[in-house]
Amino acid sequence: MAIEIERKFLLASDTWRSAVHASTRIAQGYLSTEPTRTVRVRLKGAAGFLTIKGKNEGIARAEFEYPIPAADAEALLALCPNVLDKTRHLVTVGTHLWEIDEFHGDNAGLIVAEIELEAFNSTFEQPDWLGVEVSDDPRYYNSALSERPYCRW
């Protein structure tokens, strides 16, 4: 079982854009958004994934992710009541990879930077474009954004 330790931040500026080394369009939906687990289907470019995540314990939770055929991902996305549309930009700062999600559709205008860490107490370089931390704000969970998008806040 893998444990995901992730921190999320809003952005203070768009200077991160000049450091992007890859970008991918992502469609993702949720087959289940129970408090104790989420079941997500994702189409990332031409690759499909099915992910089960356990209950959040602070900034950590169990995560199981499996590749699936793109056609299966498309069929499962059709079963989801709402599908998130976002572009994921990758930026490396020091030894860490930042995933910066720029949302589209009903979540347009929202940009969130995420970093996955090895341990709770891991240190990392905080770039000047990093803003307020929102790791503990459930409104910024992707599963929550699929049910109550940013445009309705």
Successive 10-residue mean pLDDT values, the chain, 153 residues: 89 98 98 94 97 88 96 98 98 97 98 94 95 96 96 95
Confidence at residue 139, expressed as pLDDT on a 0 to 100 scale: 96
Q: Give me the catalytic one of 30, 66, 141, 150.
A: 30
Residue 141 falls in the annotated catalytic set: no
Domain over 2-152 is classified CATH 3.40.50.620: no
Domain chopping of the chain, boundaries: 2-152
Confidence at residue 1, expressed as pLDDT on a 0 to 100 scale: 60
Long-range contacts, 40-47 (Cβ 8 Å, 24+): 40/142, 40/143, 41/68, 41/73, 41/76, 41/77, 41/80, 42/73, 43/70, 43/73, 43/74, 43/77, 44/88, 46/70
Does pTM top 0.85 for this prediction?
yes
